[in-house]
Amino acid sequence: MAGNQIGSIFRVTTWGESHGAALGAVVDGCPAGLELAEIDIQNALDRRKPSAAVSSTARHEQDKVEILSGVFEGKTTGTPISLLIRNADADSLAYDELKDVFRPGQGDYTYLKKYDIRDWRGGGRASGRETVARVAAGAIAEKVIAAHIEVIAYTQAIGGIEIDRAKMPKSKDVRSVVRENILFCPDFEAAVAMVKKLAALRKEGDSLGGVVEVVVRGCPAGLGEPVFDKIDADLAKALMSIGSVKAVEIGEGFAVSVMKGSEANDQMSPDGFSTNHAGGILAGITTGQEIVIRVYCKPIPSIAKAQQTVDSTGAQRSISIQGRHDNCVLPRIVPVCEAMVNIVLADHWLRQRAAKL
């Protein structure tokens, strides 16, 4: 299977399946001398784990990371860093009756068409469980750029319930508030409404989608490579590679299609840019302003509500999926989005250091 690697200088390869023995990542290109311990990665993985939120799965993995290589006496050596996260709570029995059935909204049909074989245990490589390796690698990327750049992701909306930006904490407090919130939502009142809606949908056997917003602060101007490696293109690709993501917008995004040029352009003065409609990126290169990204996620396709489909023989089937599943990809996808943005920024930050004398 091709397409398991991302990055040019800071390269990440992920591997493993939902119900296999383990998942992991190999991070190559990380500079030597970076202080790195398993706890640095574990903290990021713990944010991704299921919580008491009504949206979360009943599967409880410890997600304990092991660093197998690339670190000596607490510092990176410049050689590939191999990360291992073992599966300890996989239950494949729940999928026995689904092994010959194409679940609506899942990759069952397309994986079989591509490879003539598929791992039906929890979706295999197509499972959301695959993202645990991304988060592990993203924790290393975050350490590479932490002295310069900060990436903050949070829940903007679930099922049409959106945050009120006027009720968000002051900018310097957003990260701490978000990471203490069960839904990674910076608006407490909106979070309460989201929890109620998710609880109601779970009783109906249904699921919801949502929106993650990512803000990048402190990113210097000049990151990004014309023409095909524009940083917005790489960010969009990295985020769209997450299974539940169906759209990504940067800055005003979709709204620019109905704006006038005089409205969309970020005019400049000796003090800098007067607005940030472009979301911190022009011509594929960072401007030094905040990078603002919104990530649109579809509803979880594994639902208890009866759905119509076909099996591998083409026969009509009705299925109701009763396994252990989230009923909304948020909040667990929030740290995944954060990880992917950190990986792209670490790669481009290292590339920029080699771009000019």
Per-residue pLDDT tens digits for 59-113: 567 899 999 999 999 999 999 999 999 998 656 666 777 889 999 999 999 999 9
Mean pLDDT within 35-45: 97
**CATH, residue 208:** 3.60.150.10
Mean pLDDT within 343-352: 98
Give the closest residue to 225 by CA, choosing from 33, 127, 354: 354
Give the least confident one: 98-102, 132-136, 243-247. Answer: 98-102
What is the reported pLDDT for 248?
98
What is the reported pLDDT for 57?
58
Total of domains in the chain? 1
Instruction: State residue 81 phi and psi, 5-degree precision.
Output: -100, 120
What is the reported pLDDT for 60?
66
What is the reported pLDDT for 127?
87
What is the reported pLDDT for 2?
82
What is the reported pLDDT for 116?
93
Give the least confident one: 33-47, 94-108, 235-249. Answer: 94-108
Burial (Cβ within 10 Å: 0-12, 13-18, ≥19) of residue 9: middle
Average pLDDT, the chain: 92
More confident residue, 177 or 16: 16
**Position 338 pLDDT exceeds 60:** yes
What's the token pair of residue 169?
């904490």
**Position 58 pLDDT exceeds 60:** no
Residues forming a β-bridge with 25? 14, 83
Residues forming a β-bridge with 65? 85
**Position 323 pLDDT exceeds 70:** no
What is the reported pLDDT for 172?
63
What is the reported pLDDT for 151?
97
Please tell me whether residue 20 adopts helix, strand or coil conformation. Answer: coil
Give the angle 168-191-206 at the CA atoms, nearest 5°: 145
Range list of H helices, 180-327 = 188-204, 231-240, 261-264
Say how far apart CA 103 and CA 109 lie, in whole Å.
8
Strand boundaries in the chain, DSSP class E:
5-6, 11-16, 22-28, 65-67, 71-72, 75-76, 81-86, 150-158, 161-162, 210-217, 245-250, 268-269, 272-273, 281-282, 285-286, 291-297, 307-310, 316-319
What is the reported pLDDT for 215?
96
What is the reported pLDDT for 226?
92
Counting residues of the chain whose pLDDT is more than 70, the rounded percentage is: 94
What's the token pair of residue 272?
């800098």
Give the closest residue to 27 by CA, choosing from 117, 108, 105, 142: 142
pLDDT band at 53 (very low <50, low <70, confident <90, very high): low
327 in Cβ contact with 300 (< 8 Å): yes
Give the least confident one: 22-26, 202-206, 218-222, 274-278. Answer: 202-206
What's the token pair of residue 95?
């999928």
Say how far apart CA 348 and CA 158 lie, in whole Å.
31
Q: How many CB atoms lie within 10 A of CB 100?
A: 13
What's the token pair of residue 121?
């245990």
- The overall longest dimension of the chain from CA atoms, in Å, is 68
Range of the domain at 144: 5-353
Mean pLDDT within 129-143: 97
Give the closest residue to 207 by CA, choosing from 134, 104, 91, 109: 104
